Amino acid sequence: MRLAILGGSFNPVHLGHLYLADAVISAFGYDRVILIPAFRSPFKLDAAAPSPQDRLAMLAASVPGDSRLLVDDCEIRREGVSYTVDTLADIYRRYLPEAKPALILGDDLARDFPRWKNSGGILSLADIIIARRTIPEAGDYPYPCRQLQNEVMNISSAQVRDSIRQGTHWRYLVPAGARAIIEERGLYGFSAGASALSPALVVRMEEEVRRTLSLPRFLHSRQVAVMTSDLCRIFGLDSSAGYLAGIVHDIGKQLEEAELIRLAGTDRLPISPMENKKPSLLHGRAGAALLEERYGIGDQAILDAVRYHTTGSGLMGPLAKALYVADKIEASREGVEDRLRDFREYAGTGERGLDRLFGKIFMKTVAWLQTKKFELSEGTLRLLEQVERGASR
Ligand SMILES: [Fe+2]
Ligand SMILES: [Fe+2]
């Protein structure tokens, strides 16, 4: 087993780090790169940095399924200033390398390497590989080393930190797992806004929906999520809740009929003759039950929105109405009149505006069902009465 070591603050880990590890493996035939976050780097002291545990967690979440990349917390467990020579001794003890391991240095640090604590000792324990971080051509270094012919990837942790603080583009500079931790824990001043929902939950549920539904249905769900969150913003609701409700609204679609009926029954409402005849009508009710039972989602507005999106109901709240609308007219649905997707006239109209929009889309849907000679469900009929009463007031 040929080992290479990539240390650093990983504050936070970014795609440039993983790209270098990958490049060293393929360029020099190493089997494994051990990523080692420093407890305290001898070079940089950033008092405002997230805790070592946060940096470690981000790194650990960044390499799923890649057995060539290991994350080792020896420097964090050792505490104090993290010196590479101590780490190498530790690596020899625990990993029993068959050949001399490599130590990967960025060219930004390579110039100063001779001044590192016991750099002579490091050279006897490890082969140095210099990777390009800032300089696109080979350099000249006064000690034995090999140079990796990699592209300079113009990403730095400092740039990522600044972008998070300024609320600008950073999300695709870091691995998805690290991004989720930054958002979940509010690192580097990240703020999710007013929503009480965890961004990691949204990411997790989207992944679940992508895995379990067909690709066309997943893409439909994403369109619904984006439009529901837009509608929530227009009508003063929580747009993250809108996104989550949209992404999960059809999660009941993939269920077998028996499971569909069992889950739908857990809301203790009767299953109507029409639902019995056509169990796919239950995918909203069953989806809501599934979200509660299997995924622990307890937000009633989200559960209701999913529950009522198929047939509609007199019990729908604002989020349920927004989801219903988005499901019927999202951008990839065919046969929707263009003007129905234009929400400009609703800006600033609040809940009354949402009721108006919902009423319009609901009546269009009913009219369509009638032209197709579909029977209207009990929920739809009750809602129809309510909407017509509202319109005549
Ligand atoms: Fe649906
Ligand atoms: Fe849908």
**Three-state DSSP state, 76:** helix
Q: If you average pLDDT over residues 190-195, what whole number do you get? A: 76
Do residues 132 and 153 make contact, with C-beta atoms less than 8 angstroms apart?
A: no
**pLDDT > 70 fraction of the chain, expressed in percent and rounded:** 98
Q: What are phi and psi of 40, to 5 degrees?
A: -140, 120
Q: E strands, the chain, where?
A: 3-8, 32-37, 69-71, 102-106, 127-131, 146-147
Q: For 84, what's the count of Cα atoms within 13 Å in the CB-facing half-sphere?
A: 32
The rounded Cα 314 to chain-centroid distance in angstroms is 34
CATH of the domain at 173: 3.40.50.620
pLDDT at 47 (0 to 100): 67
Please report whether residue 246 resides in a domain: yes
Please report whether residue 304 resides in a domain: yes
The answer on 364 and 222 residing in a single domain is yes
Residues 348-391 have pLDDT tens digits of: 898 999 999 999 999 999 999 999 998 888 889 999 998 888 76
Residues 8-49 have pLDDT tens digits of: 999 999 999 999 999 999 999 999 999 999 999 887 666 678
Please identify which residue in the block is written with the tokens 């729908």. Answer: 316
pLDDT at 86 (0 to 100): 96
The rounded Cα 392 to chain-centroid distance in angstroms is 45
Output the CA 224–ligand 2 centroid distance in Å: 7
Please report whether residue 179 resides in a domain: yes
pLDDT at 391 (0 to 100): 67
Domain that holds residue 275: 199-392
Q: Minimum-distance ligand to the CA of 310?
A: 1
Of 218, 215, 214, the C-alpha closest to 248 is 218
Output the CA 307–ligand 1 centroid distance in Å: 9
Output the CA 182–ligand 1 centroid distance in Å: 32
pLDDT at 136 (0 to 100): 80
Whether residue 183 is predicted with pLDDT greater than 60 in this model: the reply is: yes
Q: Which of 189, 222, 246 is the last residue of a domain?
A: 189
Q: If you average pLDDT over residues 235-254, what whole number do you get? A: 96
pTM: 0.81
Q: If you average pLDDT over residues 197-217, what whole number do you get? A: 92
Residues 46-88 have pLDDT tens digits of: 667 899 999 999 999 999 999 999 999 999 999 999 999 999 9
The answer on 182 and 225 residing in a single domain is no
Helices (H), the chain: 15-28, 52-60, 74-78, 84-95, 107-110, 119-125, 157-166, 176-185, 199-212, 215-234, 239-248, 257-265, 273-277, 283-293, 300-308, 318-329, 350-371, 378-392
Residues 247-287 have pLDDT tens digits of: 999 999 999 999 999 999 998 888 888 888 889 999 999 99
pLDDT at 393 (0 to 100): 56
| One-letter amino acid for residue 369 of the chain | L
The answer on 68 and 165 residing in a single domain is yes
Q: If you average pLDDT over residues 203-231, what whole number do you get? A: 96
Output the CA 193–ligand 2 centroid distance in Å: 27
Output the CA 384–ligand 2 centroid distance in Å: 20
Q: Minimum-distance ligand to the CA of 325?
A: 2
Do residues 7 and 70 make contact, with C-beta atoms less than 8 angstroms apart?
A: no
